[in-house]
Chain A
Amino acid sequence: MLIDQAAEFDVRDYLRKEMMPHFLCPGCGHGIALRALLWALHDLGIDKDRLAVVSGIGCAGRLSAYIDANTFHVTHGRPLAYATGLALARPDLHVVVITGDGDCLAIGGNHLIHACRRNLKLTCLMLNNEVYGMTGGQVSPTTPEMLLTTTTPHGNTEPHFDACALAAAAGAGFVGREVTLNVPKLKELIRAGLMHPGFAFLEVMSDCTEIFGRKNDLGSSPEMMMRQKSELRPTAYRDTVDMPFRPNHLPTGILAKNDRPEYGASYRAAAAKEARR
């Protein structure tokens, strides 16, 4: 009578239990995003031995240490570079990159645009908490204007990046965004990204309660998550003509999708041609 697909998935099967509890602050949305990623992997039936998780430096980068799979914790900003090499050498692996907003857009911005351009089969999960959390709350490329951080004590004056627009413009095959509050929808988005035969860039809006939230008086983690909900604008409502009550909108859902040729396949074809000569 009750169809409860969620009952089959126990996140603890995918965690390194000796590492738990994890180091994230109370109420950090990264844990929810990690669950959604593991749930999507479980849904697709991806074997843990066939999964490689590459992550950089930062709160988000730390997550790979808790996943019971092949994990690779690499230098700051370079997880996409390492993952590119890994995916080219081992096309049989599912390569997932977990990165943060600073790791991906500031230090690794260069690697991001070129990974998008190449369209290699990779899944890049960018957890956007709008701040450098691990190093003490410095301003990041996604910190909204006017908000306070330790390096912008009078409010951020720089315009912030729209990471999804950047990835789509650079040519990523699949671009999507979701908030942590909608866990099943986030899981479905990650699942769609994992199934995409090219570069999938997924932005997860996460909440940094302890540092960013406290500095800007955004309330506790439930309040920060509900704020995301009030700002989001799912695909279904994005194209409506009447948008009277949503001045600050955050588009969510699948934002771009195309069938550009996958780089790994064309690279291998070129290499085989070269070998025959």
Chain B
Amino acid sequence: MSDPGSTELAAAIPVPLPGAGGAEPVNVLVVGVGGQGVIMVSKLIALLAQQQGYEVKQSEVHGMAKRGGAVFSHVRFGKLVWSPTIPKGEADFLVALEWAEGLRWLDYLRPGTGVFICDTKQIVPPFSCRDRRPGAALGYVRETVSDVIARVGEGYAIDATHMAEQLGNDRVGNVVLLGALSAALNFPAAQWEKIVADFVPKKTTAVNLEALRQGRRWIEEARKGLQHPASVPPPPSPTVADYRVRLEITPQWCKSCDICVKMCPERCLRLNAERIVELAAPDKCTGCRLCEWLCPDFAIRVHLDRTMAGAGMEAAR
């Protein structure tokens, strides 16, 4: 798999078609972040497969949906499906609504023949911030599109969120990806449109259908070599913090109420012998201003002094 381009691979490797193989079910894994519409996409696939006369099993994890957590949904359909979950390395299609979530589930894709359809949208999770100091390195994925597409049988990186924004409703990004998947699954296009129109809220039918068509067209053009995979902007590179934190404390105003000491997330303040607040660990302070905001006596003022390195970076930018 030395060639990073998707087009030649698409022509070389046959896409597994529902019902063509026989006994083995077709496995579709839909992954993303809470709120993007993972469950909705998997429901549409399951409904359509059911209407086409297949046995369908679907299972999902969605508990973290409200908090922007990871959501995934397994859809399996075929003549006979026994288990509702897809074993590792046996997903025929992986539809990812977020870039890092797609990479997280890449091992589930069938080596060689699996089709990877991924939005290039990046939602950086809180836990990839390993250090609360501003300018600290992010633990977000660093793979580029060509790195990833080289690892899979057939890969497409679509900027579906951007396409959805162009359509005027950024929430239809999942339907763009569904359209892309519809080009790979050989159900009739009219059936896809019918099920989308039946399922989505009436007010958004037109924009959803347009999103479906655009996604489908994008893949068809990509297979002909007209479209190139969208590029993923490189994740923010580690930079030095371009300022130094300085606390200005007015000792005459401090009433030793202890709020700043107890509320500081980095625990870097303390009361001195006279019970006046002081910065005990200046290197730990991130300049979050919580102490300044919560001081009822206005005794703390946080200054973020620009350092020489920061000034230089600003000039370079």
Chain A interface residues (CB < 8 Å from chain B): 1-2, 4, 6-7, 10-12, 15, 20-22, 24-32, 35, 180-181, 183-184, 209, 220-222, 225
Besides A7-B304, A12-B298, A35-B296, 7 more A-B contacts (Cβ < 8 Å) are A1-B314, A2-B243, A21-B253, A29-B296, A31-B296, A220-B257, A222-B258
Contact of A222 with B259 at beta-carbon distance under 8 Å, contacts A1-B314, A2-B304, A4-B304 already known = yes
Contact B289 A6 (CB under 8 A): yes
Q: How far is the CB of B6 from chain A (nearest CB, A)?
A: 36
Main secondary structure of the interface of B (DSSP, over half): loop
Indicate the member of B134, B135, B255 with the most A CB atoms within 10 Å. Answer: B255
Judge whether B313 is part of the interface by a CB distance below 8 angstroms.
yes
Residues of the A chain whose Cβ atoms lie less than 8 Å from the Cβ of B284: none
Is B262 among interface residues, defined by CB-CB distance under 8 A? yes
- By a CB distance below 8 angstroms, the chain B residues around A4 are 304
B297 interface neighbour in A22, A183, A209, A220, Cβ under 8 Å: A22
A220 to B261, CA, bound (A): 12
Q: Are A1 and B239 also in contact (CB < 8 A) when A12-B301, A222-B262 are?
A: yes
Chain B residues contacting A25 (CB-CB under 8 Å) are: 255
Shortest Cβ distance from residue A126 to the other chain B in the assembled complex, whole angstroms: 17
Q: Is the CB of B298 within 8 A of A20?
A: yes
Complexed CA–CA distance, A10 and B243 (Å): 19
* 7 residue pairs, one from A and one from B, having the closest CB atoms: A31-B296, A27-B257, A222-B262, A26-B255, A183-B293, A26-B257, A21-B253
1/0 contact trace for B282-294 toward A, CB 8 Å?
A: 0000000100111
Which residues of B are found within 8 Å of A220, using beta-carbon distances?
257-258, 262
Say whether B293 contacts A32, CB under 8 Å.
yes
Question: Which residue of B is nearest A2, CB measured?
Answer: B134
Chain A residues near B314: list those with CB within 8 A: 1
Number of A-B contacts (CB under 8 A): 80
CB closest chain-B residue, reference A30: B296
Q: Give the docked Cα–Cα distance between A12 and B257 (Å).
A: 20
Give B252-275 interface residues, CB cut-off 8 Å to A. 252-253, 255-259, 262-263
Residues of B within 8 A of A221 (CB): 257-259, 296
* Pair B242/A2 contact, Cβ less than 8 Å: yes
* Across-interface contacts of B289 in A (CB, < 8 A): 6
Chain A residues within 8 Å of B299, by CB:
21
Taking a contact as CB atoms closer than 8 A, the residue among A1, A2, A10, A28 that contacts B296 in the complex is A28
Judge whether A225 and B313 touch: CB under 8 Å.
Answer: no
B310 part of interface (Cβ distance < 8 Å): yes
Complex CA–CA separation, A32 to B299 (angstroms): 12
The residue among B289, B293, B313 with the most chain A CB atoms within 10 A of its own CB is B293
Contacts of A11 in B (CB 8 A): 298
Closest-CB distance, A63 to chain B (whole angstroms): 11
CA A31 to CA B298, docked complex, whole Å: 8
Could you tell me the distance between the alpha carbons of A32 and B260 in the complex, rounded to whole angstroms?
Answer: 12
Interface residues of B in 200-259 (CB under 8 A from A): 239, 242-243, 252-253, 255-259
A26-B293 contact given A2-B304, A4-B304, CB 8 Å threshold: no
